[in-house]
Amino acid sequence: MKLSLDALLTVDTIARRGSFAAAAKELFRVPSTISYTVAKLE
């Protein structure tokens, strides 16, 4: 996966909020989408 602005925003939100669930809520996404994005970055 190329590093996209969306992926950077996701990682930033996880770091600021402290959890995948909180990041998902802020980004209006389901937690599995957040997990998928992080897994693709790994």
Q: Tens of pLDDT along the chain (42 residues)?
A: 578 999 999 999 999 999 999 999 999 999 999 999 999 998
9's tokens: 């925003």
**pTM for the model:** 0.87
Residues 6+ positions from 30 with CB-CB distance below 8 Å: 24
* pLDDT in the model for residue 20: 97
Q: Where does residue 39 fall: left (phi above 0), alpha (psi -120 to 50 degrees), or beta otherwise? A: alpha
Give CA–CA dist 18/27, Å, rounded.
14
User: Residue 2: what pLDDT?
Assistant: 75
Cα–Cα distance measured from residue 12 to residue 15, given in angstroms and rounded to the nearest whole number: 5
Cβ pair 10, 41 in contact under 8 A: no
